[in-house]
Amino acid sequence: MSSFTLSPFQPATPSEASAELAIRVTDLFHKLQGALPLEAVLRRDEPLARRTTLRVGGPADIFSEPDSEHALITLLELASQLSVPVFVLGRGSNLLIRDGGIRGVVLSLAHTAFSAIEFNGALMQCGAGVRLKAIATEARRAGLTGLEFLEGIPGSLGGALRMNAGAMNAWTFDVVERLRYVTRAGEVQDVPAAEVGAVYRSCPVLRDSIAVGALLRGTPADADGIRERMETYSRKRWDSQPNQPSAGCTFKNPTPTLPAGRLIDELGLKGTRVGDAMVSDVHANFFVNLGHATARDVLGLIEQVRSRAREERGIELETEVEIVGEDLP
């Protein structure tokens, strides 16, 4: 999951902004209908809740799945010309979309054109739309170790690259050799991973660019050993994480020695509810949807937990989950 705004429009008032943007969105949709190939997905007012792991959130003004890098660049160029914001949606993990939805374009690289995996010895060329679990599974089948940790991270490679997602004491950029991305100007860049400056939970170059793929490196190893490690990671994940819909970890760890989940547990907040949103009784840093939660419920729960941490421990918790979109009027 990643987002950026292209040539942001500067309105005089919020109401003028809404009216002006609505006109430009409609204009953009008509232009995209004529510019994108039939194989590309293009829809208006697309519901987004079902496209997130938390299962909350409103619709997108425009939703699109380009079928090629060329189609992606065309979309970005047209959106830039009309000053319509673009939000990039991965598999919807680590994401909270407000109930009013997202204005402008929501772009997904879930098309099969961005979901290929190709092997060259110990190297794997993967599209940004590939599920991380699929990468781990295909690496195991090819007898490559080092990528097992990806099995337990929900989402796609594009989102994992932008966040430098991690699990089991390993991080995405630990296994990346090269990164391929598209800039705001529609230029395709293919660079060594060492040049992008990936850090904890962030890849700076992808703050305003879109990852379209990466070259990953594994290490040849015994397939049975790889399978055993993946099964161990899977058991550990299911034993320590809830099975209800969630966005993953809600807050970043406040210090290297104090996990956010432990802090929330120490505050006695497991099981705390706002509507149908609840602090998980399995892992306190997971806020789960009990069935009918709204984004407003989840945001209320986030603020309640942050307030308690601030008041009782003097700790300002920072959200790890990305919060986007607009509230309902």
Per DSSP, the residues of 118-171 read EEETTEEEEETTSBHHHHHHHHHHTTEES-GGGGGS-SBHHHHHHHT-EETTEE
Query: What's the pLDDT band for 15 if we cut at 50, 70, 90?
Result: low
One-letter amino acid at 293 equals A
- Can you give the pLDDT at residue 294? 98
Mean pLDDT score across all residues of the chain = 92
Distance set, CA 139 to CA 147, 148, 179, 303 (Å)? 7, 8, 18, 41
Q: Which two tokens stand for residue 173?
A: 């950029």
Q: What is the mean pLDDT of residues 201-224?
A: 92
pLDDT of residue 208: 86
- Across residues 89-109, what is the average pLDDT? 95
Mean pLDDT of 81-93: 92
Whether the predicted pLDDT of 11 surpasses 60: no
Q: Which residues, including other chains, have CB under 8 Å from residue 111's CB and lie 6 or more apart? A: 39, 40, 41, 65, 66, 67, 129
**Pairwise CA distance, residues 200 & 202, whole Å:** 6
User: Considering only CA atoms, which of 183, 165, 11 is closest in space to residue 86?
Assistant: 183
What is the Cα 257 distance to its own chain's centre?
26
What pLDDT score does 268 carry? 98
Which pLDDT value is given to residue 10? Answer: 43
Report all structural domains of the chain as residue ranges with CATH numbers, in order of start.
2-112 (3.30.43.10), 115-225 (3.30.465.10), 242-319 (3.90.78.10)
Q: Token pair for residue 269?
A: 């907040």
| pLDDT of 240 above 80 | no
254-274 residue pLDDT tens: 999 999 999 999 999 999 999
Residue with tokens 């309640």: 304
**Residue 238 in contact with residue 244, Cβ under 8 Å?**
no
Sign, CA torsion 127/128/132/136: positive
Cα-Cα-Cα-Cα torsion 126, 147, 162, 95, nearest 10 degrees, comes to 110
What's the rounded Cα separation, in Å, for the pair 7 and 84? 8
pTM given for the model:
0.87
211-224 mean pLDDT: 94
CA angle at 156 for the pair 245 and 173, rounded to the nearest 5°: 120
CB atoms within 10 A of CB 312: 12
CA nearest to 292, candidates 45, 160, 99: 99
Q: How far is CA 28 from the centre of its chain?
A: 25
Tens of pLDDT along 157-195?
999 999 898 888 889 999 999 999 998 778 899 999 999
- Across 221-257, b (16+ Cβ under 10 Å) vs e yields beeeebeebbeebeeeeeeebbebbbbbbbbebbeee
pLDDT, position 231:
87
pLDDT at site 13: 57
243: tokens are 């099975």
- Neighbouring C-beta atoms of residue 142, cutoff 10 Å: 17
Helix 14-35 with 69-81: angle, nearest 10 deg? 140
Question: Is residue 219's pLDDT more than 80?
Answer: yes
SS3 323: strand
